[in-house]
Amino acid sequence: MSLRGQIIAITGASSGLGQHLAEQAASQGMHLSIMARNHSKLHVLAKKIGGDVLVFSGDVTSEDDCKKFINATIDKFGSIDHLITNAGQSMWTNFDEIEQVDLFRKLMDVNFMGVVNCIHPALDTLKKTSGQVVVISSIQSKFGVPAHSAYSASKHAVEGLIDSLRFELQSSKINFMIVYPHWIRGTEMRQNALGSNGEKIGNQKRNHNKSSVSAEDCARNIIDALPKRRKSLFIPGKLKYLPALKLLLPPVFRWLIRSKIKSQK
Ligand SMILES: NC(=O)c1ccc[n+]([C@@H]2O[C@H](COP(=O)([O-])OP(=O)(O)OC[C@H]3O[C@@H](n4cnc5c(N)ncnc54)[C@H](OP(=O)(O)O)[C@@H]3O)[C@@H](O)[C@H]2O)c1
């Protein structure tokens, strides 16, 4: 099925994965609506892409901003076929090093409420188009990992939300696809991650391990999966075995996760 002419709304499009998703959606001939807080970065992207892109500056933690984003998209294009909730923020600090637990509130606000805030006002239009919600989650929605307690918890919360919505909206023909990427290269996630004092940790050099995936490849996988209306997408595919490993061989699972996190510190 061709994506040409379909309408896609993407949050967190000012950098990283979201930016690549926007570029690749546009290259498929989709009508594009993009949101993030950084107005100038969105405009640079829209100019690069060309054509009639809706640029909306807003914060996903604001219910009002998300409503306006969805309504502006419908006003401009008539409806929405695909909503990608991609905006997100991470952390790099152990729980007992966190100075104020407000860090949890901040990450829940972006990674969980940001998803709720965007899906809720989009439901009516998605019901009419039999559209789909694509949630950019993380393999950390399946298990927690060291130094990421609040991030893992926020992604678990999204998993629970989508499970419930699948039941409640079974007859609506809205598809919910959850994307579980590995570490992604070429994004600003690391520098935007919150440290023990609740502030962004800023630029830190690190070498991604070989199993990480580039933002461009990750975006290509996701855009390719849109017409297939999948329920889940693990990138790379072998990640889907990790939850089973946790159940079947817990000591091996824990050793693997500890060594992966150590290699990223
Ligand atoms: N990088 C990885 O290794 C990795 C792995 C698995 C999953 N993911 C997931 O992939 C998604 C994209 O992350 P990324 O790696 O591309 O990181 P990124 O380069 O830091 O991009 C994050 C995007 O989210 C936006 N954003 C953050 N807070 C926001 C807010 N309150 N309101 C609106 N937009 C907000 C940022 O834009 P503004 O700052 O302009 O608002 C930016 O466009 C996230 O959901 C992340 O959890 C990433």
Identify the DSSP state of 31. Answer: E
- CA-nearest of 67, 71, 86, 82 to 13 is 86
Mutate to test the pocket of ligand 1, among 63, 86, 191 (most ligand atoms within 8 A of CB): 86
pTM: 0.96
pLDDT of residue 263: 77
Residue of 69, 77, 104, 151 marked active site:
151
Cβ atoms of residues 182 and 213 within 8 Å: yes
Our CA angle for 96, 86, 84, nearest 5°, is 150
CATH class as words, domain 7-240: alpha beta
pLDDT 10s digits, 208-258: 666 789 999 999 999 999 999 999 999 999 999 999 999 999 999 999 999
CA torsion, ordered 236, 169, 34, 74, to nearest 10 deg: 150
* Alpha helices (runs of H) in the chain, residue ranges in sequence order: 16-27, 39-49, 63-77, 102-108, 114-129, 149-168, 189-192, 215-225, 242-248, 250-264
Is residue 180 annotated as part of the catalytic site, yes or no? no
Query: Mean pLDDT by 10-residue block, N- to C-terminus, for the chain (265 residues)?
Result: 95 98 98 98 97 97 98 98 98 97 98 98 98 97 96 98 98 97 94 95 72 94 98 96 94 92 77
Adjacent-strand bridge partners of 57: 36
Count the neighbouring beta carbons within 10 Å of the beta carbon of residue 238.
10
Mutate to test the pocket of ligand 1, among 184, 203, 264 (most ligand atoms within 8 A of CB): 184
Structure tokens at 238: 């072998």
Question: Which residue's CA is the closest to the ligand 1 atom numbered 36?
Answer: 12
